[in-house]
Every structure is written in structure tokens, then in C-alpha cells.
A = this chain, B = another copy of it.
Amino acid sequence: MRADAERNREAVLRAAGRLFDAADDPEQVSMDAIAAEARVGKGTLFRRFGDRAGLIRALYEERAERLRTSLAPDPTRSPLENVTLLMTATLRFKTENRALARALENQGGGSPYTNAGYDHWHRQLAELIAEARGPEAADFLAHALLAAVRSDLVAHLDDWPAERVRAGVATLVASVVGQPTARPAPPDTADHPQPEDAGTPRHA
């Protein structure tokens, strides 16, 4: 990659980041505006990132990388704790990157579900859920958890105190993943044996 190419790529990403962060509605941020902010021709944007969705994805991935690496499930913690950690971090990320996340989820080429990142989180959650309450509906429940922190919902709850949203997520997680104790849960899982009617396998 030629030097000017790399330089421009960086300039574009930073410019886009600035504009999305400043915008309320991601649709306000046009490709022309990004090009102008980056002091670069529009052709450069499209050559590098393919299309609008590609640029958004690239920027999002860049920011989400830190998250992903810091959130590998910790085997010394219970599934409930791991899921809570993961969901809380995601919630925070979505809050801090509102416009960008909305751009990714609502336009990034149709659905949020075609993005590379989604599969990663979904798989991780599904595994933890399966570990906690059996594989029964783990796949769907993982989707449901992720849906509960979709960026436009988070945006919609903007006027709630942050703590209230966080508590809501925690309650949801507790309900779905393990036996409730609405708060962060003591490390021992043996606490509330799960109802055992047939058909619902459980962890050892």
C-alpha cells in the first residue's frame, strides 16, 4: 500500500469518526461531507472502502476491536457473570458510539446481522447460555439478548438514567441466563437449581 494511500485511509476514517460522533442522525453524514472533512476526493472514499456500508463497517470494526479483545469469556467466572459483563460492555459501547452504531445497524447494507462482528458476539453468548441453562433455545436467546441492546433502542432510552438501563439489562440477563438474583450475582451458581422438567438439559 502506497504511502499516500495509507495516509488518506487514515484521514478518511478519522474524518468519518468525527462527523458521526457529532451527528444525531447518521443519515445526516453524507459521503461528500466525509470526503470534504478529510480533504480528499470522493473517488478515494469509494476506491478504498467500496461503498458507504464498507466505510461504516471499517470504522466500526476499528472501534470495536478493543472491546472484542477485552471481552474474551473468563473461565474463572460463571456464565451469568460473563454474559452480564459482555452485555454491559456492549451497552456502554453502543451508548458511546450511538450514531455510528445506528449507521451500522440500520443501513450498513440492510440488516445488522450480515456484519462480521455480529456472529462473533452471538456465538459467544449462545455458548455461555448453553452452558448455563442448556442448549435448548440458546441460539435464539442469544439473538434476543443482543436485540435488547440494539443501538436504536439504546438511543430511545436516552433520557433514562444510565443506571436504570444498566439495571434493566442486568435483570434481563439474570432472567434469561440463570436463576435470578437481580444483582451481579454471587460467584457460586449452585444457589438456585433450575427447574428440571424433561427436555431441558443442564450443565453438569
Q: Does A147 contact B (CB under 8 A)?
A: yes
Q: Does A16 contact B (CB under 8 A)?
A: no
Nearest B-chain residue to A140, judged by Cβ:
B168
Q: A25-B110, A147-B148, A148-B147 are in contact. Are A140 and B195 (CB under 8 A)?
A: no
Interface residues of A (CB under 8 A from B): 25, 106, 110-113, 136-137, 139-141, 143-144, 147-148, 150, 152-153, 155-157, 164-165, 167-169, 171-172, 175-176, 179-182, 194-195, 197, 199-200, 202
By a CB distance below 8 angstroms, the chain B residues around A180 are 194-195, 202
By a CB distance below 8 angstroms, the chain B residues around A150 are 147, 150
- Please measure, in the bound complex, the distance between the C-alpha atom of A32 and the C-alpha atom of B100, giving whole angstroms: 31
Nearest B-chain residue to A143, judged by Cβ:
B153
Contact of A172 among B113, B137, B155, B167 (CB under 8 A): B137
- Assembly of this chain: how many copies? 2
Contact of A168 among B137, B195, B199 (CB under 8 A): B137
Contact of A182 among B112, B113, B147, B200 (CB under 8 A): B200
- Please measure, in the bound complex, the distance between the C-alpha atom of A181 and the C-alpha atom of B106, giving whole angstroms: 35
**Could you give 10 example pairs across A and B, Cβ below 8 Å?**
A112-B152, A140-B165, A141-B172, A143-B157, A147-B147, A147-B148, A175-B175, A181-B197, A182-B197, A182-B200
The smallest C-beta distance from A197 to any residue of chain B, in angstroms, reads 7
Contact of A141 among B140, B153, B168 (CB under 8 A): B168
- Which of A139, A140, A155, A180 gathers most chain B CB within 10 Å? A140
